[in-house]
Amino acid sequence: MNVQLLNKKEAIFESTLKLINEYGFHGTPMSQIAAHANVATGTIYHYFSSKDELILELFKYCREKTNEHIFDFKEDLPYKERFFYIWNRLVDYYIAHKETFWFIEQFYSSPYYELIKQKKTTYYGVDKMHLFFEEGIKSGILRNVSFYTLISIYIGSATSHVKMVTYGFCKMQAKGRAELIEIIWNGVKNQYQ
Amino acid sequence: MNVQLLNKKEAIFESTLKLINEYGFHGTPMSQIAAHANVATGTIYHYFSSKDELILELFKYCREKTNEHIFDFKEDLPYKERFFYIWNRLVDYYIAHKETFWFIEQFYSSPYYELIKQKKTTYYGVDKMHLFFEEGIKSGILRNVSFYTLISIYIGSATSHVKMVTYGFCKMQAKGRAELIEIIWNGVKNQYQ
DNA sequence: ATTTAACAATTGAACGTTCATTCGGGTGCA
DNA sequence: TGCACCCGAATGAACGTTCAATTGTTAAAT
């Protein structure tokens, strides 16, 4: 009775996203998703072969939308500015789309992720980040540390921050956020240039 | 047929931990937990009033065990060493107890956490961290940034790192780990002392 | 020392509900 | 006429929880 806009497939996605956030993977029956999306239960099975597939597809959908958003910028900014920009775009996007954020978090830490981890399909987001960090190291702007170290700090702190904010722990969001990315920059920039 | 050691309550905890890691909150029926813990289904209801309560109690149990472990050290180390020590203890513990780690992650990002978030019961772990960071700031060793900023970086990077390692993405664990905590230290230490 | 009684712990079959999935039928468009 | 899309009641399996019955334990009473 809520989502009318979009085509049915997207309505199903959006409803699933909302309900899973509220009630979890369990606790969200297909019938409820259908009702919320204004379709019949059977219709979902026209688009997805099972509940698991629906959830898997929704995960890809969320991840793509997020990546589209954060890498949308003019390439010619100085490196440091891009470093701040991408991080802030990510935090912005997650805070503006809390349901997407929490769904992705829930998915990553559930056994679902095991189902797609193996897939060698080079994942767009990781590729982009890889190139971005590599550029920073090659040009001597970033310290020469491993990609996974950089990702852990860069993404880990962003998600932690979003968690704090959405939990309601963290007042003074803007200040905290500025402090955070600046500390990270301090930590990873090359000191001897 | 597996866990025989401990008393029944702990056997139920350990079985729940293992099975939820493998199959998720859903996908883990009480009957299966009972079978794995070598008790009858009804026995679980002698110790816990419902499945939800079992999961909530298990969460507290895991959190306490983790905190006991990471804050176990001699107070007289220099600040910087404690800063590295606690972080490494946390990473060590999670890597040695992957099931605890993933259960906590799953719990935090699920609707379960909403159920206990409100509880004002000053949570031991957060208190300890608060004092620890406060000490660093007051003595001028750490930059004067907000507690939640420090927590986001310190804990966020640790969990990110553990995720990378348990996903199997990150080879050369020891090097990556040393890089990470050093970068964080670089970022948060006071530059002008 | 033995009996007794109260209570705690344990069992697993049975119950009632919920839920993912199926299916037979309907509608509108090429 | 065929095909894609859509419906929602029906199905059947799975699951959380209950409960009457059994066993184990503790400690007061004899």
B78: alpha, beta or left? (left if phi > 0; alpha if psi -120 to 50): beta
Pairwise CA distance, residues A4 & A14, whole Å: 10
User: Measured between CB atoms, does B29 come within 8 Å of chain A?
Assistant: no
Pairwise CA distance, residues A163 & A159, whole Å: 6
B42 Cβ contact partners less than 8 Å away, ≥ 6 residues apart: none
What Cα–Cα distance (Å) separates residue B6 from each residue in A64, B2, B11, B57, B116? Answer: 46, 11, 6, 17, 27
> Which chain A residues touch B105 with a CB distance below 8 Å?
109
Cross-chain Cβ contact A146/B183 below 8 Å: no
Cross-chain Cβ contact B111/A23 below 8 Å: yes
Q: How many helical (H) and strand (E) elements, i.e. helices and strands, does chain B have?
A: 10, 0
Percent of chain B scoring above 90 in pLDDT: 77
The torsion angles phi and psi of B135, rounded to 5 degrees, stand at: -55, -45
What residue spans define the domains of chain B? 1-47, 63-188
Q: Are the C-beta atoms of A19 and A36 separated by less than 8 Å?
A: yes
Pairwise CA distance, residues A134 & A150, whole Å: 10
Averaged pLDDT score across all residues of chain A: 91
Strand partners, A189: A142
Closest nucleotide to residue B30 (Cα to C1')?
A: D16
What Cα–Cα distance (Å) separates residue A126 from each residue in A42, A121, A169, A189, B157? Answer: 36, 11, 30, 21, 17
Q: What percent helix, strand, coil does chain A show, rounded to 5?
A: 70, 0, 25
Predicted pLDDT of residue A118: 72
Predicted pLDDT of residue B120: 58
Question: Which is it for the CA torsion A98, A100, A105, A106, positive or negative?
Answer: positive
Strand partners, A142: A189
In angstroms, how far is CA B53 from the centroid of its own chain? 19
B159-176 pLDDT, tens digit per residue, is: 999 999 998 888 767 888
What Cα–Cα distance (Å) separates residue B56 from each residue in A84, B52, B108, B148? Answer: 38, 6, 11, 25
Predicted pLDDT of residue A2: 36
Please say whether the structural domain A1-47 has been given the CATH code 1.10.10.350: no
A137-186 pLDDT, tens digit per residue, is: 999 999 999 999 999 999 999 999 999 999 888 877 888 899 999 999 99
B71 pLDDT band, cuts 50/70/90, is confident
Which stretch of A108-122, B117-131, B135-149, B163-177 has the lowest confidence by average pLDDT?
A: B117-131
Nearest Cβ partner for A106 among B109, B153, B170: B109
Q: Is A142 helix (H, G, I), strand (E, B) or coil?
A: strand
Predicted pLDDT of residue B10: 95
| Angle CA A74–A76–A77, to nearest 5 | 85
Question: Which is it for the CA torsion B190, B191, B192, B193, positive or negative?
Answer: positive
Q: Please give the DSSP secondary-structure letter assigned to residue B189.
A: B
Pairwise CA distance, residues A125 & B170, whole Å: 17
Please say whether the structural domain A62-188 has been given the CATH code 1.10.357.10: yes
Give the protein-side footprint of strand C (Cβ within 7 Å).
A 27-31, 41-42, 45, 50-52; B 8, 38-43, 45-46
CA-wise closest residue to A24 among A117, A95, A94, A110: A110
CA-wise closest residue to B189 among B77, B73, B84, B75: B84
pLDDT over 70 at A5, yes or no: no
* Secondary-structure class of domain B63-188 per CATH: mainly alpha
CA-wise closest residue to B89 among B76, B72, B105: B72
Predicted pLDDT of residue B3: 37
Q: Could you tell me the distance in Å between the CA of residue A118 and the C1' of nucleotide D11?
A: 36
> Which chain B residues touch A91 with a CB distance below 8 Å?
none
Average pLDDT score over residue span A26-42 = 96
Q: Which positions of strand D lie within 7 Å of protein CB atoms?
A: 5-10, 14-20
B79 pLDDT band, cuts 50/70/90, is very high
